[in-house]
Amino acid sequence: MTTFLAAGLLFDLDGTLVDTAPDLACAANHMLATLGRPTEDEATVASWIGDGVPRLIKRALTGERFGEPDPALFEEAQALYGDYYEAHVADRSRLYPGVAQTLAALRADGFRIACVTNKAGRFTRPLLQALGIAAYFDVVLSGDELARVKPDPLPLVVACERLGVARDGAALVGDSGNDMRAAKAAEMVAVAVGYGYHHGVDLPALGAAAVTPIFADIRDFFRFDERFLLSKAMP
């Protein structure tokens, strides 16, 4: 197994740390039912995950991966979805096995840790708090804080700046093609988890240096190196 030297570790959220599909499906079906449309099973909604909530909503409304619904309908649907999901963000969502223990161990090893997600902040922070892992992160960067989201490298670059870690001393752990593309564009090491919402995409072909089916094994891929620290983490 290859071991990478690093001082900062950036983690995706949905499909990497947390199985959020059950609550995302409930929110989608509440939205569809309120609009008088047929609901979908959880597996179908899970297949829509990976490109942010707005795209998930558009997929629910159009039945197409990149369909565009009527703008007025989309705005109504987005409000219905957002209000419901915010109130039920952690009803059924659960950490993947070993997540809390591994994050605690990585912090003890000395790593600075960030959560970098395309999920909006109104959902991200309550979810992390509800599942008891918010305190493990030095930085939380949500999808509505910057002008661009993953697969653009900007969130990864900003996360490194806020962590006070050199970009060549940071790595991303994620489950999707967007994560791998973002890391590649940022010239950053990426390790993929084999579960989550990648929908069968060949993650090594997109730049994953390694793939693990077990989150706890993430610790084996990295060794802390303080030479990559640039400053104290930003507030």
Catalytic positions are: 12
- Residues ≥6 apart with Cβ < 8 Å to 178: 50, 51, 118, 150, 151
Parallel, antiparallel, or unpaired: how do β-strands 18-19 and 94-95 relate?
antiparallel
User: What is the helix (H) or strand (E) element at residue 87, kind and residue range?
Assistant: helix 71-87
Backbone Cα Rg of the chain = 17
User: Which of 199, 195, 158 is closest to 177 using CA atoms?
Assistant: 199
DSSP designation for 135 = G
- As a whole number of angstroms, the distance between CA 106 and CA 103 comes to 5
- As a whole number of angstroms, the distance between CA 228 and CA 138 comes to 16
Give CA separation, 25 vs 60, 63, 152, 184, 191, in Å: 10, 15, 26, 30, 27
